[in-house]
Each structure stands twice: as structure tokens, then as C-alpha cells.
Amino acid sequence: MKKKKLLITGIIIVLISSGFSTIQNKDLEIVKNLDIYFTLFRELNMFYVDETDPEELVTTSINAMLSSLDPYTTYIPEASMDDFQFQTTGEYGGIGSLIRRSGTHTIIAEPYEGFPAAKSGLRAGDVLLEIDGKPTDGLAIETISDMLKGKPGTELRILIERYGEDEPIKFTLTREKISISNVPYYGTLNDGKTGYIRISNFTSGAGKEVEIAFRDLKSEQQIESLILDLRSNPGGLLIEAVRICNLFVDKGLLIVNTKGRVKQWDSEYVTQKSPLDKEIPIVVLVNRASASAAEIVAGALQDLDRAVIVGQRTFGKGLVQTSRPLKYNAQLKVTTAKYYIPSGRCIQALDYTHRNEDGSVGFIPDSLISEYKTRNGRMVYDGGGIQPDFEIIPELIGEITIQLYTQNLIFDYATRYAAMHPEIGSPDGFSLSDEDYLDFQNFVETRGFSYQTETEQIYNELVTTAKKEKYYQVAEEAFLKLEEKLMHDNLQDLETFRPEIQELLQEEIVNRFYYQAGRVQAQIQNDIQLDKATELLQNPQQVEEILNGQIGALAIERTEAI
């Protein structure tokens, strides 16, 4: 027995010693490499041929180091802390407006309803000339944004140039605490029995906002079914996703748990309250841009067989970030864990752990994708977003529509239209007339609009290569005939793609009069994914059979607009 005890004691000592040795070796490696970095940095600053900016060098090296991990692990210097706080809380001190570049100018892109910019009369399309007497010409948009922000209660003076006005206009605004709503619009559809809630973000308070919207729809509108629209929602706070799920599922259910390398940080997030309604039929709308917390809501409600998912496979972000304080008021946002929804699956799509030889990141291979089961036994899968129960793929928009949007012609025409029309019809009923669309075509022509299709780009590359290799002269006639068939015509394309171009125009114009809520109402007028959701909810028994696994399995239907 004594020999046995001595042997066990010896093994333990060896294991502990080797553990200490490993820790010491790792610490030595860290110290060694930090010393190398310090000496390299010192030598670079002393002897480099040109003057260097130490802060810029350090920031560049930090960002390069973090980019080798994943895109969500980022360094946040003190100067960017306001933007970081806005991403998590949805709050900042300012005038309540988006700004963006238009040519060489910075313009008001979208005022938020109820905040200083909108209340003072600033409009989308207004060109910022001066802020507190300082000309904005030549300033970076980040600098202008910082000038507009500030402590609530403080004043600022703005000089703008407005379409249709001969002279610049002065405004005096008082900054306020700006809190951007996570629910820009909610209401009823069709016969008034289907509720609709658009959730655009998951900043602080999202769960409460959804609760208020749902209570109003249920008590005042007497809805019998519900659509949660999470399309193009980039996510945000994990806890807000849990709170939204809790509105519709029992208390004490696991919604998500996180697992990382530091085990004491592993957490389980369980519903804490009794639900508002655990019976109402629900459809959740998602698309390729639904990510993170939006995927937790969609995935958890799918795993718990509480909602039918309609739309497209989601983005596939299954990573959790934690903020860690650094010196000088900077922070590190670091990926600390992966999250797992109730079935046990992680929906992370990209494998940052195993990079390709060129440094690129690939999707998790099909061979590593596993099957899981929902509470009622339906099959679901990990490894790449939330697969909807009904996959509805919207029609791809044409190149001319993309170019009209990116070249600001849709935005600029909306500015012109709003200046010439003091009011329009309701957001869900507004439509451009034939005369309006002809006016838009003339506007596009006067702006010298031009673009190149991908087909034309490939054709031009082919011609260049053919001339280089001296084949063009041999088949010049064939090339010219092909060019005639392939080259687009602006006026013809404006007619061919009129439905999608007109939809974007109407959304932008409605936004000028009815702000964010109006834009959402305009967006959902011709929406095949929403149409499928309402169709399903008109047959509650079918929804119940789907969730019980009585009708097929996952991906019951795939519809593609043509």
C-alpha cells in the first residue's frame, strides 16, 4: 500500500510539474515575442527613412493580428467608443439622423422621426455646408459625424443647401439623447387578424419593445396570428433574443447556451417569466442577412416547435463576443464562445479555426454537418445558419436597378419629388403614376446615367484578349453582331425593370414623408416571403401539423420568384 501511495504521489507531482512547465514555457514565449515586438517597433521608429506615426503603426499591427482570428474580434480605441456604445445600446447624443457622402458633399440621408433633425425641419437630401460656422467641405464624414454628436441639451447651428431653394438655410438644433427603436413598425395585415412586427436590431430594450408591440396588437387589434420579421437584422445582444423568445414559450426553457475555452464563462440562458401567449400561431421571416441574435430567436423558436420559419437560410453567425477593458479607455471585443440553441446545434457557417493555405476561410464541409431534432422530433441541422421550413427566394434585382441605387439617382429623384409634392397618399397605398415614371426616366437621362452589365464587361475583356492574340480581325464581323445583341439600352432597361425600380423609388419617397415606419409599410406591399407567411397563417391547423412533424420534414417547400 505504501508503495502504491508513493507511486500515485509521484505521478501527481510529475503531472503538476509538467503543467507548471507548460505554463512557464507559454509565458516565456509571450514575454519573448513581446520583447521582439518592442525592440522591432523601437528600431523602426528610430531608423525608418521617413517620419512614422507610432499610434497608426500600433493600431495597424493590432488590427492585422486580430484579423488573423475572426472578423468579430476587434480593437476599439477610445475615439470609437461612442460608436461601439451605440451598437449595443442604440443610444447616443446628437440630432437623430443618418448622414452620407454624395459626390464631394455630405448630406442628410435619413432623419429619424421625433428627434431634433426631423423636428427642426431638416430633410433627406439637404447638403451640409457648415456646422457651428465651420465649413464641412473637405472634411471626412467621420469628422462631420463627431461634430453633429455631443452632450444632450447642447446647441448647434447648421447651414444647409436644399433642392429648389435659391439661398442656404440656417437651422439651430438642440442635441438630444437619441434612442433608435428596435421595432420601427408594427401593425396588422389583410383582414386585421394577422399581426406583423418588424425587428431591425437587438440593442438594449429590444425585448421590451417587442412586448409592447405584441400587447397592443393582441389587446387592441385582437390579432389571431403573428409574423415576426427578422430579415436583414444583424443581431446584437444575446439576452434580448432570450427575452423575445420568452414572450411565446414557457418559463424555465433553455433558449441558448454558450461554450468557450474559459469554462467558468460558459452560460445557460433560460426563460425567466411566464409567456404572454404560448398558443398564437407564429411565422418568423428570415433572409441571408439575418444574423447572430436574430438567428437565436429564429432557431430557438424552430427547435422548440413554436414557430414556422419562412424565407432564406440565415447568415450563420454562431459566435459570442465579450468586451474586455484595456488601458486608456480602449476596449477589446473578443470572441469568447460559440452558442448552441435548444436542439444542441451551433449554426456557425464559417470555420475560422482551419484556414486555407491562402489564408481564406471556408464553409464548414457537408461531411461535418450533423443532424439534430426539435422538441417534436423534426430534423434540423448545424453548420450554416437556420434553414427555413419554407424556403422562398426573392427574384434577383437587375444590374440597372443596382446602379441607379448606388449612383444615388433613386435617392436624388426622391429628393426632387418630395420638394415638388407637399404631401402624398398613405404609405401602403402610394404609387407612382405613368407620368411620374416618365419624369424619372427623363431625370435619369439628364444626369448622363451610364452603367455596364456583367455580360458587357466579359464581352469587352474577350475583345481585348482577342485583339491581343490577333483573333479579333479574323472574326470581326461575328464580334460586332454579338456586341449588337449583348449591349444594353438604357431606355429599354428602364422599362424592362420598371417594377423593381419603381418599388425602390416608392420606398424612398414614402420614407421622406413617413420616415422609417413608412418605409417598412412600403416595402411589404409586394413581398413573396410575407405572402407565404400570411398564406400559412390563414390555415392554423396546417401550421400546427408542420410543427408537430405530421407534414413532411424540413424544407417542405422551395419557391423561387421568376
Give the model's pLDDT for residue 555: 44
What percent of the chain is predicted at pLDDT more than 90?
73
CA distances (Å), 490 to each of 445, 495, 496, in order? Answer: 9, 9, 10
**Of residues 19 and 26, more confidently modeled:** 26
Count Cβ atoms within 10 A of the Cβ of residue 230 and give its class: 0-12 exposed, 13-18 middle, 19 or more buried: buried
Catalytic residue positions?
292, 303, 317
Q: Report the C-alpha gap between 209 and 230 in whole angstroms.
A: 14
What are 144-148's contacts with CB under 8 Å, separation 24+?
Answer: 144/99, 144/106, 145/99, 148/94, 148/95, 148/97, 148/99
Q: Coil, strand, or helix at residue 242?
A: helix
Amino acid at 321: Q
**Of residues 86 and 330, more confidently modeled:** 330
Q: Coil, strand, or helix at residue 49?
A: coil
Q: Report the C-alpha gap between 449 and 446 in whole angstroms.
A: 8
The C-alpha torsion from 443 through 449 and 455 to 457, rounded to 10°, is: 180
Give the model's pLDDT for residue 103: 83
559 pLDDT more than 50: no
What region does 235 belong to: left with phi over 0, alpha with psi -120 to 50, or beta? left
pLDDT tens-digit map of 114-139: 999 999 999 999 999 999 999 999 89
Give the model's pLDDT for residue 8: 52
225 pLDDT more than 90: yes
Give the model's pLDDT for residue 22: 54
pLDDT tens-digit map of 191-210: 789 999 999 999 999 999 99
Give the model's pLDDT for residue 24: 63
Q: Report the C-alpha gap between 203 and 89 in whole angstroms.
A: 5
The residues with which 70 forms a beta bridge, in sequence order, are none
Q: How high is the mean pLDDT of the chain?
A: 90
Closest CA to 200 of 185, 215, 178: 185
Give the model's pLDDT for residue 562: 32
pLDDT tens-digit map of 282-293: 999 999 999 999
pLDDT tens-digit map of 331-350: 999 999 999 999 999 999 88
pLDDT tens-digit map of 50-95: 999 998 999 999 999 999 899 999 999 887 887 787 777 878 899 9
Provide the 10 A C-beta neighbour count for residue 77.
Answer: 16
Give the model's pLDDT for residue 554: 44
Q: Coil, strand, or helix at residue 384?
A: coil
Mean pLDDT of 34-39: 93
| Residue whose C-alpha cell is 432570450 | 242
9 pLDDT more than 60: no
163 pLDDT more than 80: yes
Give the model's pLDDT for residue 415: 97
Give the model's pLDDT for residue 455: 87
Closest CA to 75 of 266, 321, 361: 321
Mention every residue, 6+ apart, whose C-beta is less than 8 A from residue 110.
Answer: 97, 98, 124, 511, 515, 516
- Cβ 345 vs Cβ 372: under 8 Å: yes
Give the model's pLDDT for residue 464: 93
- Longest Cα–Cα distance of the chain, Å, equals 101
What percent of the chain is predicted at pLDDT more than 70?
93
